[in-house]
Amino acid sequence: MNSELSVLLGDLVTVTHRLTRLAAQATGDSTSPAAWRTLSVLTSAGPMRIGELALASRVSQPTMTKIVANLNELEWIKRIADSSDARAWHIAIAPKGQNALNDWRYRLGAALEPLFADLSVRELGVLSEATDLIGDRITVQEMAA
Amino acid sequence: MNSELSVLLGDLVTVTHRLTRLAAQATGDSTSPAAWRTLSVLTSAGPMRIGELALASRVSQPTMTKIVANLNELEWIKRIADSSDARAWHIAIAPKGQNALNDWRYRLGAALEPLFADLSVRELGVLSEATDLIGDRITVQEMAA
DNA sequence: ATTAATTGTATAGCTGAACTATGTATATAC
DNA sequence: GTATATACATAGTTCAGCTATACAATTAAT
């Protein structure tokens, strides 16, 4: 096993832990991270069932049922009956939810921007590529799970 | 405001949210993320008081009191009385704690390694530099807070 | 075609980590 | 020496996550 990669990944997780925490404090966000993750998944992968959503967002199915119920009350998602299976629902992001997600991302960026304002164009590119690299691998994993 | 940076940071946080979650599930870790953050801070910045630790780890002082109490029971940290202030303590990471932290980082890396095994040397460098970039800015922020 | 097993979602109840408010003891200011 | 500020501890609450399980609909078996 590649121990260098191991250490790098450990550091990456530790550092992003703190970034996440800092971001939450900076935006004074009350919506749960899992809800944002869920909206984010719906945006990038399109409508899906509660069970699939639970896998993709890495929470248990009952937790996702609750998250969806909350998002539904906010009218941030739509529940669409599955015509071929009366037990199941298709969950789709609603316009309000898309707006909320965009707004959250924006506020997050605004809150953290001062910290990163000194980045060079090259460093910006590094961060951007790293984000893509991680995103690709997470997505692959989620689809496989 | 730089909206490109804004979007990038939003994406970064979203993606690392999911990475963190995935990592926690993959290692079956029961210790709280905040405890690992705390140990990580102690390792990189050396012994400090509970109040300082709370700021650095971005939790409230009572929360940190509890985290430190838990870590103390595990003998992962040492409480050292402040000779000049009987109210205060210096919290230092203990050898056991250093080992536990190293082990956690290792397990984390091992669990995530399969996902990242296909990285080129250049991409590895990108991830590494991104980690450093974020780490630097978080640290600066924590010290200022 | 019933019965049984499986699957998709919902509900109940628990745990634990975070918070605010406040208490206690020590330090500092006047 | 009394008052205020500071450092940590305690009490009590809230909420997100979990497991276990119920319920309903589908699928499989005989």
pLDDT tens per residue across span B6-18 = 778 877 887 887 7
Nearest CA of chain B to the CA of A69: how many Å?
21
Residue with tokens 């996702």: A64
Best of A18, A103, A141 to substitute, by most chain B Cβ atoms within 10 angstroms, is A18
Cα separation, A20 vs A36, in Å, equals 12
Q: Which nucleotide is nearest to B61 (CA to C1')?
A: D8
B45-70 tens-digit pLDDT: 899 999 999 988 889 999 999 999 99
> Does a structural domain hold residue A77?
yes
> Does a structural domain hold residue B15?
no
* B51 CB inside 7 Å of strand C: no
> Does a structural domain hold residue A81?
yes
Tell me which chain B residues have a C-beta less than 8 angstroms from the C-beta of A4.
124
C-beta neighbour count of A70 within 10 angstroms: 15
* CATH number reported for the structural domain that contains residue A123 in this entry: 1.10.10.10
Q: What is the reported pLDDT for B96?
A: 95
Question: With pLDDT > 70 as the criterion, what percentage of chain A qualifies?
Answer: 93
* Cβ pair B110, A1 in contact under 8 A: yes
B89-109 tens-digit pLDDT: 999 999 999 999 988 888 888
What is the pTM for the complete model shown? 0.82
Return the amino acid letter for A65.
T
Q: Which domain holds residue B120?
A: 32-144
Provide CB contacts within 8 A for B13, sequence distance 6+: A16, A19, A20, A23, A108, A112
Return the amino acid letter for B130.
A
> Does a structural domain hold residue B8?
no
The residue with greater pLDDT, A43 or A19, is A43
Nearest-CB residue to B135 (from A15, A126, A127)? A15
Q: Is the dihedral of CA A26, B18, B32, B137 positive or negative?
A: negative
Return the amino acid letter for B116.
F
> Does a structural domain hold residue A14?
no
Per-residue confidence at A68, pLDDT binned at 50, 70, 90?
very high
Q: What is the reported pLDDT for B145?
A: 44
> Does a structural domain hold residue B5?
no
Mean per-residue pLDDT over chain B, rounded: 86
Cα separation, B105 vs B89, in Å, equals 27
The residue with greater pLDDT, B8 or A62, is A62
SS3 B34: helix
> Does a structural domain hold residue A122?
yes
Tell me which chain B residues have a C-beta less than 8 angstroms from the C-beta of A142.
18
Helices (H), chain B: 3-27, 33-45, 50-57, 61-73, 95-116, 121-144
Determine which of A14-18, A81-85, B53-57 has the lowest per-residue pLDDT on average.
Answer: A14-18
* Cβ pair A115, B141 in contact under 8 A: yes
> Does a structural domain hold residue B84?
yes
Cα separation, A8 vs A105, in Å, equals 26
Cα separation, A59 vs B55, in Å, equals 29
**C-alpha separations of B107 from B41, B78, B102 in Å:** 19, 24, 9
Rounded mean pLDDT, A39-64: 92
Count the domains in chain B. 1
